[in-house]
Copies of this chain bind each other. A is one copy, B any other.
Amino acid sequence: VVGIEEVARRAGVSTATVSRALSGRGQVSAAARARVQAAADSLGYVVSAAASSLASGRTRNVGVLVPFLDRWFFGTVLSGLSSGLMRHGYDLTLYAVNADAAERRAVFETFVRRRRVDGVIAISLKLGDDETERLLELGIPVIAVGGPNPHLTTLTVDDHAIGRTAAEHLLGLGHRRIGHVGAAPEYDVEFRIPTQRRQGFEAALTDAGAPVAADLFAPSDFTIAGGAHAAARLLALPDRPTALFAASDEMAIGAILAAREAGLRVPEDLSVIGVDGHELGEFFGLTTIDQHPRRQGERAAAAILAASEPDASAEPAAELPFELVVRATTAPPAGS
């Protein structure tokens, strides 16, 4: 492999000048810069990450913590993150923070502390105080995406407003008896997000004088199968709801399938609205609140880069956009 020495020799300059020319830091004459670039290109020289990091203290790498790798939402955020980082020449080192306590500890006590990264992005993770503390001790920028975290810079959608928007859409269509498929408390460990969506949803119902009954809430995991089971329970109610708000699109799709299974037509007999902007939503004609997950990843990348560069200027806006997308699964209730 070719080193900086060789590039310097070929370009007829010192290694210091090569370093400056290639990194863009410090003054280099246009002529020298051109010769260095040409030499580097022809030799296929790429700066060694380890040597550069050790000497400069910058790694050009960011650590990303995710709770799940096999769910569409996280994969989509991750792909936005990856492309946002790559565009700026940054690498992405991935840490799956799973339920296993020992492995989880290892991530915070060891993996993340190897000084391999210039910044950390935690996606939809509910961090313990000690974990937050470990991250902050790193002395590098830390950004949490999704879910409020009082101790960290946070990039998040207003989940309360999402819940409210969903409720208001259904109320506006004339629905009064509206069920909710949300997270079971056990599944809320990773997020506080579903709880907020539920609260926003219920606040809107209350404001409108619509019922917020315990039996209209069906807890579930965040999968299609879970959503289907939860929805089936609500649809079996003697006085079944005319509309359902699911806290994710996958659960909403499950609800649609459950409705079909129960012989109900969507939206004639049952309206369904979800949250996320899942790619499958279009196929099902699902009305949803799109939170643009890919863009969330891109925004997170931009935010961590801004925080990492010394010339960090504009504090990135902390609020992420969402958008009601009305398709074919919501309509006025049958009687109206």
Q: Which of A30-63 contact B (CB under 8 A)?
A: 44, 46-51, 53-54, 59, 61
Judge if A96 is at the interface, Cβ distance under 8 Å. Answer: yes
A86 to B50, CA, bound (A): 20
Judge if A29 is at the interface, Cβ distance under 8 Å. Answer: no
Judge if A78 is at the interface, Cβ distance under 8 Å. Answer: yes
Judge if A260 is at the interface, Cβ distance under 8 Å. Answer: yes
Judge if A225 is at the interface, Cβ distance under 8 Å. Answer: yes
A276-308 vs B, CB cutoff 8 Å, 1 = contact: the mask equals 000110110000000000000000000000000
With both chains docked as a complex, state the minimum distance between the C-beta of A61 and any C-beta of chain B, in angstroms.
7
Judge if A151 is at the interface, Cβ distance under 8 Å. Answer: no
Judge if A15 is at the interface, Cβ distance under 8 Å. Answer: no
CB–CB B75/A1 < 8 A? no
Judge if A116 is at the interface, Cβ distance under 8 Å. Answer: yes
Q: Which of A123-141 contact B (CB under 8 A)?
A: 139
A15 to B78, CA, bound (A): 39
CB–CB B91/A92 < 8 A? no
- Interface residue from B71, B106, B279 paired with A86 (Cβ < 8 Å): B106
User: From A293, which residue of chain B is reached at the shortest CB distance?
Assistant: B70
Chain B residues with CB below 8 A from A46, complex form: 109-110, 113-115
With both chains docked as a complex, state the minimum distance between the C-beta of A263 and any C-beta of chain B, in angstroms.
12
Copies of this chain present: 2
A116 to B47, CA, bound (A): 10
A78 to B260, CA, bound (A): 34
Judge if A69 is at the interface, Cβ distance under 8 Å. Answer: yes
CB–CB B279/A50 < 8 A? no
Chain B residues with CB below 8 A from A139, complex form: 1
CB–CB B96/A82 < 8 A? yes
- Interface residue from B110, B114, B282 paired with A225 (Cβ < 8 Å): B282
Q: A110-B46, A114-B47, A283-B228 are in contact. Are A70 and B59 (CB under 8 A)?
A: no
Q: A46-B110, A49-B114 are in contact. Are A96 and B75 (CB under 8 A)?
A: no
A289 to B59, CA, bound (A): 43
Chain B residues with CB below 8 A from A223, complex form: 279-280
Chain A interface residue number, banded: 35 or more
CB–CB B70/A79 < 8 A? yes
Judge if A98 is at the interface, Cβ distance under 8 Å. Answer: yes
Chain B residues with CB below 8 A from A71, complex form: 75
User: From A139, which residue of chain B is reached at the shortest CB distance?
Assistant: B1
CB–CB B86/A111 < 8 A? yes
Judge if A83 is at the interface, Cβ distance under 8 Å. Answer: yes
Chain B residues with CB below 8 A from A114, complex form: 46-49, 91
A116-158 vs B, CB cutoff 8 Å, 1 = contact: the mask equals 1000000000000000000000010000000000000000000
With both chains docked as a complex, state the minimum distance between the C-beta of A333 and any C-beta of chain B, in angstroms.
24
User: From A58, which residue of chain B is reached at the shortest CB distance?
Assistant: B50
A82 to B100, CA, bound (A): 13
10 pairs of A and B residues whose beta carbons are closest in the complex: A50-B53, A225-B283, A70-B75, A69-B79, A49-B114, A49-B116, A50-B54, A46-B113, A82-B96, A70-B76
